[in-house]
Structure 1
Amino acid sequence: MIFLTGASGLIGSHIARRLLAEGYAVRALRRSTSNLQALADLQDRIDWVEGDLLDTPLLLQALEGCEQVIHCAGMVSFAPKDAEALYQTNVEGTASLVNAALIAGISRFVHISSVAAIGRPRRKGVVDEEQKWEKSPLNSWYGETKYLAELEVWRAHTEGLPVVIFNPSVVLGPGPMDRSSTRLFGYVQQKGAFYPSGLLNWVDVRDVVAVVMASLQSRTHVGQRYIVSAGSVRYSELFGQMADCLEVSPPKIQVNSLLTTGAYYLEKFKVVFGKKEAMITRETRILSNLEIEFDNSKITKAFNLRFHSLPDTIRWTCQHLEAQIR
């Protein structure tokens, strides 16, 4: 049996589907407030455990009878108000889970991290798995919590837990349009006017699922981390392809530093007086204008992987989003 966290999210829901399709028994952790829309047709085939990553006794009970763990759960936010929650979920939650996995004698712990955990010491250039974390204003607090979470995983590995870490870039694929990276499709579908000047590193969710599944079967990947990224694309090109597929006009105004700063303070004003969550923060305005590319040569060679193309990914995603658009 596989114990899966984050099953309600974009990556986790697709992993759950693949596991069930291949005959695995799946036990998954969820909160009482989890939105299970992405697994609506499969809920009855999953052994659900309701609770929290910080509940160690619950995790020990949930891991009974499980051989492997896939840890997809995590919080993504760039809002300053979520700083404490990010640390609790991403760092303390991961520490709690690896500790329980060590006690339970789990034979494989697959940790889904992020390229944000690798760090961005400069605005331009190519980054690979050998990049050491450096404190930098180009790194988000979200990225730092993912880095600290990885330290907990590596610590557990030195204590005897067989681990594999994957660092996906922005994962594209069908899901609710108001959640995760699928919001990019929602933004284009709603005829957003602006696009950032930087590069977006992306990967198809099917490719993330493929390497996760392969890592369950082979010991050669234990103790390794892998960047999972198909490539990089300008936001203008990405939004243009999405707009063509969704049959709407693409964003036409490139956001320069002045516009971005103005939008940032407008968002802060809306938050204070409108009690809404900011879409643009100090961190997102920095990240969206970077020109960093992530090297995928290690994972391509190790898994003999051929990534889906961006047009194929966008076309596949749009086909699955039709019901939400209508």
Structure 2
Amino acid sequence: MILVTGATGLVGSHLLVKLLQENEAVKAIYRNKKSLEAVQRVFVYHDALPLFEKIIWVKADITDIPSLNNTFENVTEVYHCAAHISFDPKDENLLRKINEEGTANIVNCCIDFGVRKICHVSSIAALGDLKENETVITEETEWNTEFPHSDYAITKYGAEMEVWRGYQEGLEVVIVNPGIIFGYGFPDKGSSLIIKNIKKGFPFYSKGLVAIVAVADVVDCMTALMKSTINGERYTLVSENISQEELFYTLADLLKVKRPYVYANKTLTAIGWRLDWFLSFILGKKRMFTKTMAKSSHNTHQYDNSKIKQALGYDFKTINEIFTFISKEDYCR
């Protein structure tokens, strides 16, 4: 029996389709029934709606240990996709609770219930920091505690430490570190907000590099790694390193709208994050553009995907293949 956490999110929902198409027995965690509607849409997208009924849904919360006890009965493998994504400094405690403590709970349950193997979905944000004159980040790049990181990056790195603890205690583990994941099903969340903003005529772009990947590639690599004998390894999942300018132009062309036309240089982004802070302070709204985000919009480092290519012989989708779902998604609301 396979357990999927974060099953009602982008990666989790597409993973469910993949597992059920392969005739796997699957348990999936959910917190409220409303969230299952988006999962159903993903199954419809894949022309696999009848398979949706085969999922064993369990209402639980990874931060609530008692709710996990029944969840892990008869489970032999776990895909840990659950996480909280936010770059608002006000969400630090929530990020630590879900990403670090929640992962620790999952790892502890895996050990207590004799789970054979876990695949943990991390992020490129948890990879290391480049030294002077370096330009490419790999799985071996060291994390520098003196380097400024977002709370999200820190908690995803902390979550990985919990998984490695499980590995030291005998649990088989693989970790994947995806870039920005794009895919069908959640037009009002995550990476799809980028597409939605472009649709609305977002005018700004920068020339920093962006690491992107299709949700289908993430799911394919995860399942292949879990079926393999690979243990105790992490893999960067990135299809392409492209400029934000190229990404935004590509999306605008696919959506048949005007391309962003204002180059956001370092001065403009510095003004932007300060204005965002001020409006957040005055109006009590969540941060949308932080200092860390402003800095990352000008990064020129690249992420190397050669390790996963060598391990699986995998070929990632091109940028045009990644966004084929756009024509079937609703970004006009």
Fold agreement, TM-score > 0.5: yes
Aligned to 1:234: 243
1:247 aligns with 2:269: no
CA distance in 1, matches of 2:271, 2:33: 35
Amino acid at match of 2:12: G
| Structure 2 residue ranges without an equivalent (≥5) | 42-48
Structure 1 unmatched ranges of 5 or more: none
Letter in 1 for 2:69: L
Could you tell me how far 1:38 is from its partner in structure 2?
2.6
2:224 match: 214
Task: Describe the shift of the 1:175–1:288 C-alpha distance in structure 2 as closer, same or farther (beyond 3 A).
Answer: farther
Give the C-alpha shift of residue 34 in structure 1.
Answer: 6.3
Give the Cα–Cα distance (whole angstroms) in 1 for the partners of residues 175 and 278 of structure 2.
39
Residue of 184, 191, 194 corresponding to 2:204: 194
Q: 1:241 to 1:48 in 2, by over 3 A?
A: same
Give the match's secondary structure for 1:49. Answer: strand
Q: What is the rounded CA distance, in whole Å, between the counterparts of 2:89 and 2:269 in structure 1?
A: 18
- Where do 1:227-306 residues align within 5 Å? 227-306=236-315
| Aligned equivalent of 2:163 | 153
Counterpart in the other structure of 1:320: 328
* Mapped partners of 2:223, 2:265: distance in 1: 41
Alignment of 1:64-103 (within 5 A): 64-103=73-112
- In structure 2, C-alpha distance between the alignment counterparts of 1:136 and 1:293, rounded to whole Å: 21
The 2-side partners of 1:37 and 1:255 are apart by 38
Shift of residue 274, structure 1, vs aligned partner: 2.7
- Quote the residue 1:18 is aligned against: 18
Which residue of 132, 135, 139 maps to 1:129? 139
Alignment-derived partner of residue 180 in structure 1: 190
C-alpha distance in 2 between matches for 1:257 and 1:181: 23
Maintained 8 Å contact 2:128/2:139: no
* Sequence identity percentage: 37
| Structure 1 residue 32: Cα displacement | 2.9
Moved more, 51-60 or 290-299: 51-60
Give secondary structure in 2 for the equivalent of 1:248: coil
- Give the deviation of 1:138 after TM superposition: 4.4
What is the number of equivalent residue pairs in this alignment?
Answer: 323
Give the aligned residue type for 1:19: L
Is the contact made by 2:174 and 2:226 (CA closer than 8 Å) also made in structure 1?
no
* Residue matched to 1:108: 117
Deviation larger for 128-137 or 28-37: 28-37
What secondary structure sits across from 2:188 in the alignment?
coil
How far off its partner does 1:275 sit? 2.9
| Deviating more after overlay: 247-256 vs 133-142 | 133-142
Q: Which moved more, 1:137-146 or 1:210-219?
A: 137-146
Does the aligned pair in 1 maintain the 2:72–2:113 contact within 8 Å?
yes
Tell me the secondary structure at the aligned position of residue 130 of structure 1. coil
SS of the equivalent of 1:111 reads strand
Aligned mates of 1:46, 1:272 — CA distance in 2: 44
SS of alignment partner, residue 70 of structure 2: helix
In 2, the alpha carbon distance for the partners of 1:215 and 1:114 equals 16
Matched residue SS, 2:143: coil
CA RMSD of aligned residues (A): 1.7
Contact 1:75 1:90 (8 Å CA) reproduced: yes
Q: Is the 8 A contact 2:196 2:331 kept in 1?
A: no
Amino acid at match of 2:61: D
Displacement of 1:154 in angstroms is 0.5
Displacement after TM superposition at 1:249 (Å) = 0.6
**Alpha-carbon distance in 2 for matches of 1:33, 1:18:** 21
Query: 1:163 aligned to 2:173?
Result: yes
Change beyond 3 A, Cα 1:249–1:37: farther
CA contact (8 A) 2:139 2:234 kept: yes
More off after superposition, 73-82 vs 49-58: 49-58
- Distance in 1, matches of 2:276 and 2:15, equals 35
Deviates more, 1:79-88 or 1:29-38: 29-38
Where does residue 143 of structure 1 map in the other structure? Answer: 153
SS of the equivalent of 1:216 reads helix
Q: What is the deviation of 1:146?
A: 0.7
d(CA) in 2 for partners of 1:207, 1:214: 11
